[in-house]
Amino acid sequence: MAPSFSAGVLGYESPTVSLSDLKGRTVVLYFYPKDDTPGCTREACDFRDAFEPLKRAGVVVLGVSRDSLESHGKFVKKYDLNFPLLSDPDGAICTAYGVLKEKNMYGRKSIGIERTTVVIGADGTIRKIYPKVKVDGHVAQIMSFLGL
């Protein structure tokens, strides 16, 4: 079973969302490092552009980062994103899904999100994990996996 979660969210019917709220639906839970950075923006815009066929198929797309709801709000507005972004400031969801990894940038080590996508089936089981995601072509890869 996929780890349960509950988090503050923008772009959803309520101010929080939990995995149990989505039982019976396929969920694409994509973890990304930071709002409004080049790779994360490309990935978000790719999900935005593929949103309608995913929605018609009953698929819920949720983006997750450690950014605040305020940061998410600016990101959503700037790029006209049409799916919810979950705020995980304490990293609880990221930890549950094993996406926090040590990174080494310019000789400095830090813990950050490794770009990862998890496809959760309508029954709550993990159907597919895409670790170390390369942005180019990733959304098409997910759509193919889902038969869309």
Residue 107 lies in a domain: yes
The pLDDT value recorded for residue 15 is 85
Residue 70 lies in a domain: yes
Six-digit token pair at 134? 């390369």
Could you tell me the residue range of the domain that residue 72 belongs to? 6-145
How far is Cα 61 from Cα 48, in angstroms, rounded to an integer?
A: 9
The pLDDT value recorded for residue 9 is 84
Residue 46 lies in a domain: yes
**Percent residues over pLDDT 70 in the chain:** 98
40 counts as catalytic: yes
Number of domains comprising the chain: 1
We report the CATH number of the domain holding residue 83 as 3.40.30.10
Confidence of residue 115 (pLDDT cuts 50, 70, 90): very high
How far is Cα 16 from Cα 6, in angstroms, rounded to an integer?
A: 7
Catalytic residue among 40, 59, 60, 93: 40
Q: Report pLDDT digits (tens) over 129-143.
A: 999 999 999 999 999
DSSP per-residue string spanning 57-117 = TTEEEEEEESS-HHHHHHHHHHHT--S-EEE-TT-HHHHHTT-EEEEEETTEEEEEEPPEE
Confidence of residue 102 (pLDDT cuts 50, 70, 90): confident
Residue 1 lies in a domain: no
